[in-house]
Structure 1
C-alpha cells in the first residue's frame, strides 16, 4: 500500500479564536455555551466531553482523600467526568468495605454536569496493571497466580458490568517480557476490554514501539484480536487531579450522563489527547453513504472494497498550539501524512481534512483497523480510537 497524501478539504477558522476569554471559557467546561446544540461528528450528533479515568489517592499509593480528588476534578480542573481507581492491593484485609466506600463517594459527587465512575487498579507485579471501571466488586493481584485467574474473575456473572483498560504498557521495563502476556487474547472478554493507554503522564512516543518494536502497543493488541480504543491517562498520585497537565480521555457522547459515558466506552467512541481544549473526530465513509465514528466496527458488507475515505475534523479553542502534522495509520503503519503549512497570519485552529486511501485487499488481513494521529506545537498529541474493519 503506497503512502497517500491527505487532501485538505476545507479549513474553517474560528474568528473568535484569539479572543482573550476563549481559553478561559473552554477550560471551564461548565457551562460551555452551545455545546449541547453542536456536534463534532458527521451524521451522529456526538459531542466531546473531557475527563480522566485513572487516578489515585491516599487510599492506596497516592496523596489526598477521595473527596478532595472529586472536588478538584470538578471545581478546579472543570472535568466533565472523573474516576478514582486506587490500587486494590492496598486493601488486603477489608477490600469490599474499602471499595464500597469508594463507590459511595463517587455516587455522592455525581451532578447533572459532572459524571463520576468508580473502579480500581488491578496491579500484578509481573503481569502488569489494569484499570477496572464500573465493577460491582473488587479483586486484587495477590489473589491470583497469573492473568488467567484475573480473567476468570472478570467472567463471573457478578462482574458482567465491569469494563477494563490495559494501563501504561511498557512503562515498567522489568516486566516487558511478561506484561499482559503480550496481550494474549481471551476472545470471551473482547467486548469488556475497551482501551489501552496511549498517553500516560503526557508521554506518547514510548507507546509507538510495542513489545516487539514493529508497531505501537495498541496495534499489537488489536491485530491479535482485541478491539481497543486510545486512552489518555494522568495516573495521578500527587493530589493534582486533572490539573497537572492537559492529558485527557475525551468521550464522544450525545449528552453527559453516566450511562452515556459507559455506552461511549463500550463503543470505543473516545480519543486520547494531552490538549485539554481539543475537539476531535475521525470518521470513515461506509458503502451506504453514512459515516462510521472512531471505535465503530464495520462488517465486510459495510466496508469499502477499493478506496477508503477518512475524514478528520478538529477545533482547538485556546489557540495556543497550531497543528503541525496529521498521520493516517492502517494496522499501525503510516499510510498518509499531511504537513500543515507554517503559521503565517492565519492559523489552522479548526480544520476538516479528507483522505482517500486505496485498499489492496491482497496485502490486508481480513480484519484491520484505521486511526489518525495529530501533532500540535512541539509536545501536544492526539490519537483517535481506531475504526475496525472486518
Structure 2
C-alpha cells in the first residue's frame, strides 16, 4: 500500500508531526494486550519522507473525540538519503586574484538530501579557469573539499565538477575574482524550526546539517517562542501540557557550534503572534547569551509587536527584529523601532513577498532584505519544499569584511544584504553615488544620482528592475529577442497557498501547427510536471505565492495568429484563457498579461 497525505495538518496533531495516517477501529474494540502490527515496506524498506533524519519516530497514538488520549510507543528509525543524482558545488562568492580558495562538493539524491552512496567518489574539475582541484573526502564535513584552487584572471567564474566520469555533475555558484576585494560575500540561513513545535531536528544536529550539506557560512536555529519557553513542546494528552524552558539549551548549542568548521551561528527565535498583534517576527541577538522577551515580560508572552519591541530594549545586548510571512503575516502599522527593524525576510519556502516589503517601506520602515528558509524539516540550508511549501529555502547574502560573528552581525545591522530565493547563490552589487547597499545619503545634498549595479546569476538574467518609492523607474530585459524559443511562466501572488492545495492544470496550444517542448523551468516539486501533449503543452504545477513555474518551448512550427494559454484555477481565482499574439512576440520579443481574481477574495496580507 502507498499512502500520500495531502493535508497540511491533521486533526488531531500527534507531536512532533503535523500529519499522520489514521487507522480506525470500525468494529469491536482494542483491549490491553492486543497487538497492532505495522510492516513498513518489508525487507526492502519504504520511502517515508523526502529528507533524511537520524531520529525518525514512528509513533502510535490512541485518540478519542479528536484528542490523543494515550501513546502506544515509538519505533526509532533512521531515514537515509537515496541514490546519488547530482552534485552541489559551492565556492566563496568573491575571491582575490591569485589567492588560494576552497571548493566544496556535496553528493545529493533526487530530493537534495545527502546521497547514501556519497563516499568513495572520484571528482574532477571539467570546466573553469582555475588551477588546483585535489579533492579529499573530509570525515567531519561528510563531503569533498579541494582547498588548493586559484584563479589568475579577474572576472566571473563558474566551476563544473564531475563524479566518476560523468555519473553526476554540478556547477558552482558564480565567483567574482577581484584584484583587491574589500568585502566578501557570505551566504546564510536565519530561519530554521525544530522539534519543539511543528519542525524537526534538535539544535546541534541542525547546525551540523546546515554546515555539512547546506554549506552555510552563517546560520540561526529559530524555534517558535511559545513551545520553546512557555507551553513547552506541542506534546499533550487531552488538554494536559508539560511547560518547559528550552532557551538556555538553544543558547548553549548556538555558542558551542559557533566557529565549527567556519560556521558562524547567531542566537535567535521566532516571535509568533497574529497579524492583528503585529504578525510573525524573528528576534536575533548579537551575543552568546541574552534574556528572551518571555523572560523579560513573563506576564505577557504574546504581547503585540509594539510592546514586545519596548520589552526587547531591556535585553541590553545588540538585537535585530526581522518580520516575515509565515503562519501569521507581519503588519506594518505598529509603532516601529528603526534601530532594530533593519531587515525584511522577502522570500522563504512560503514564496516571495515583495509586495509586503514595499508596504513596510511605504510605512516608513527603512528595511533591507534577506531571504531565508522558515524550514520545518531537518534540511537546514537546503530544503526540499514538499507538499506544504512552494519552493526551496531562500538564502541571505551579506557583504562582510570577514566571516566572524561580529562582522556578519555588523553587515546585517548595516543592511549590506541581498536576498536569494530558491537556494540559488547569486551575486548582487549596488551603489548610489559610491554608497553601497544599506547606506543612506541626503537627497538635499545629492541632487544627482549615479547608480552602479552588477549581478551574476545561476542562470540567464531575464530582468533588472530599478524601483523608487515602490515604482519601477527603469528596467532592462537582456534575454528578450524575436527568436523562436519562448519562455512561458505564470503564477499568482495569493500568499501562503500551499503546494498540495495549489496544484493546477493548464495547457498551451497553437491555432495551427505544433509546439515543441524544450524543457521545464522552475519546477520545485517531484509531483509537478510539464509534458508534450500532441501539438501542444500541458502541465500540472503549484505556481502560487509568487512562485513562477513554466517551460521553454520552440514556436518555430506554430501557425495562426495566437498561442492559446489556459489555466484552470476555477475553485479559487478563476478560469483564465489568454491569447498570446505571435506577431507581438516576433516584433517585440515579449508578452505580459495580468488580471485580478475573477471572484472576490479577502486577502489577509495585502491591501
Say if 2:348 and 2:393, in contact at 8 Å, map to a contact too. no
Partner in structure 2 of residue 6 of structure 1: none
What's the secondary structure of 1:193's corresponding residue? Answer: coil
What's the secondary structure of 2:250's corresponding residue? Answer: helix
Q: 2:398 aligns with which of 239, 251, 254?
A: 251
Matched, 1:330 2:468: yes
Tell me the distance in 1 between the aligned counterparts of 2:424 and 2:473: 28
Structure of higher CA gyration radius: 2
Partner in structure 1 of residue 272 of structure 2: 123
Tell me the distance in 2 between the aligned counterparts of 1:192 and 1:34: 34
What's the secondary structure of 1:263's corresponding residue? Answer: helix
Relative distance call for 1:330 and 1:226 in structure 2 (3 A) is same
Tell me the distance in 1 between the aligned counterparts of 2:418 and 2:321: 16
Partner in structure 1 of residue 416 of structure 2: 269
What's the secondary structure of 1:100's corresponding residue? Answer: helix
Q: Which runs of 5+ in 2 are unaligned?
A: 1-152, 163-168, 233-242, 384-391, 483-520, 525-545, 547-607
Say if 1:184 and 1:224, in contact at 8 Å, map to a contact too. no
Relative distance call for 1:256 and 1:38 in structure 2 (3 A) is farther
Relative distance call for 1:19 and 1:58 in structure 2 (3 A) is closer
Partner in structure 2 of residue 339 of structure 1: 477
- 1:33 Cα deviation (Å)? 10
Q: Which has the higher contact order (CA 8 A, sep 6+)?
A: 1
Tell me the distance in 2 between the aligned counterparts of 1:48 and 1:260: 12
Tell me the distance in 1 between the aligned counterparts of 2:230 and 2:344: 27
Tell me the distance in 2 between the aligned counterparts of 1:163 and 1:314: 27
Partner in structure 2 of residue 134 of structure 1: 285
Tell me the distance in 1 between the aligned counterparts of 2:262 and 2:481: 36
Q: 1:309 aligns with which of 450, 474, 482?
A: 450
Matched, 1:83 2:232: no
Partner in structure 1 of residue 357 of structure 2: 218
Tell me the distance in 2 between the aligned counterparts of 1:336 and 1:120: 38
- 1:103 Cα deviation (Å)? 1.1
Matched, 1:149 2:307: yes
- 1:24 Cα deviation (Å)? 5.1
Say if 1:185 and 1:225, in contact at 8 Å, map to a contact too. no
* TM-score, normalised with respect to structure 2: 0.45
- 1:277 Cα deviation (Å)? 2.4
- 1:58 Cα deviation (Å)? 0.6
| Stretch deviating more after TM superposition (49-58 or 276-285) | 276-285
Q: Which runs of 5+ in 1 are unaligned?
A: 1-11, 40-44, 209-215, 286-290, 345-376, 382-390
Higher helix share: 1
Partner in structure 2 of residue 282 of structure 1: 430
Q: 1:58 aligns with which of 190, 195, 201?
A: 195
Tell me the distance in 2 between the aligned counterparts of 1:248 and 1:228: 17
Say if 2:345 and 2:370, in contact at 8 Å, map to a contact too. yes
Q: 1:99 aligns with which of 215, 227, 247?
A: 247
What's the secondary structure of 1:71's corresponding residue? Answer: helix
C-alpha distance after superposition, 1:17-46 (max 9, x if no partner): 36446x85746x9xx9978x764xxxxx22
- 1:183 Cα deviation (Å)? 3.2
Relative distance call for 1:88 and 1:115 in structure 2 (3 A) is same
Tell me the distance in 2 between the aligned counterparts of 1:131 and 1:144: 14
Q: 1:185 aligns with which of 325, 331, 335?
A: 335
Matched, 1:296 2:296: no
Relative distance call for 1:18 and 1:113 in structure 2 (3 A) is closer
What's the secondary structure of 2:310's corresponding residue? Answer: helix
Tell me the distance in 2 between the aligned counterparts of 1:15 and 1:249: 21
Tell me the distance in 2 between the aligned counterparts of 1:16 and 1:200: 27
Relative distance call for 1:155 and 1:96 in structure 2 (3 A) is farther
Say if 1:56 and 1:237, in contact at 8 Å, map to a contact too. yes
Tell me the distance in 2 between the aligned counterparts of 1:199 and 1:281: 19
- 1:138 Cα deviation (Å)? 1.4
Tell me the distance in 1 between the aligned counterparts of 2:474 and 2:437: 17
Partner in structure 2 of residue 48 of structure 1: 185
* TM-score, normalised with respect to structure 1: 0.68
Matched, 1:203 2:360: no
Say if 1:57 and 1:237, in contact at 8 Å, map to a contact too. yes
Say if 2:285 and 2:318, in contact at 8 Å, map to a contact too. yes
Say if 1:129 and 1:167, in contact at 8 Å, map to a contact too. yes
What's the secondary structure of 1:72's corresponding residue? Answer: helix
Q: 2:320 aligns with which of 163, 170, 174?
A: 163
- 1:160 Cα deviation (Å)? 4.0
Tell me the distance in 1 between the aligned counterparts of 2:393 and 2:274: 29
Relative distance call for 1:134 and 1:47 in structure 2 (3 A) is same
C-alpha distance after superposition, 1:273-301 (max 9, x if no partner): 1253212111111xxxxx11111111245
